[in-house]
Amino acid sequence: MTVTELREACKAKKLKGYSSMNKAQLIAYLESGERPVVEVKSGSVAALKAECKAKSLPGYSKLTKPALESYLATGEKPTVEPKWGSVDWLRALAKKHSIKGYSKLRKGELEEALDKAGVDLASGRMLRAA
């Protein structure tokens, strides 16, 4: 059977969480009905996030590996600047320029709203008074 056929079999059995499994994991899941335990490399981002989750530390999902390591070592969530051009960056820019309703806007809508308000996306500064 192919991976696609195995996934279709999982769907037919109404199993959950199979979409990212490889062929061996899918076969084991179909045979046992229990999700196979996926081992995570020690020190990987996934392992660090699992450790944060186990320690009930909030707000770790968007942190980078160095930030996760710092968070686990100190217990204090590091402040991470949003990546330039990301939705988080655009939302922070919209908030800074007092654009209403920015939290519900999608990326293109945020860009339009910022442009309409006279904000230069390259620099994050006002080009003209709105």
Domain boundaries, the chain: 3-32, 45-74, 87-126
User: In the Cβ-directed half-sphere of 78, how many Cα atoms lie within 13 Å?
Assistant: 17
Q: Give the integer Cα–Cα distance in Å for 115 and 16.
A: 43
Instruction: Give the pLDDT band of residue 23 (cuts 50, 70, 90).
Output: very high
> What pLDDT shows up at residue 109?
95
Number of helices followed by number of strands (H, E) in the chain: 6, 2
Average pLDDT of 46-70? 92
* Structural element, H or E, at residue 46: helix 45-54
Residues in the chain: 130
Which residues lie closer than 8 Å to 57 by C-beta, 6 or more apart?
A: 71, 72, 75, 77
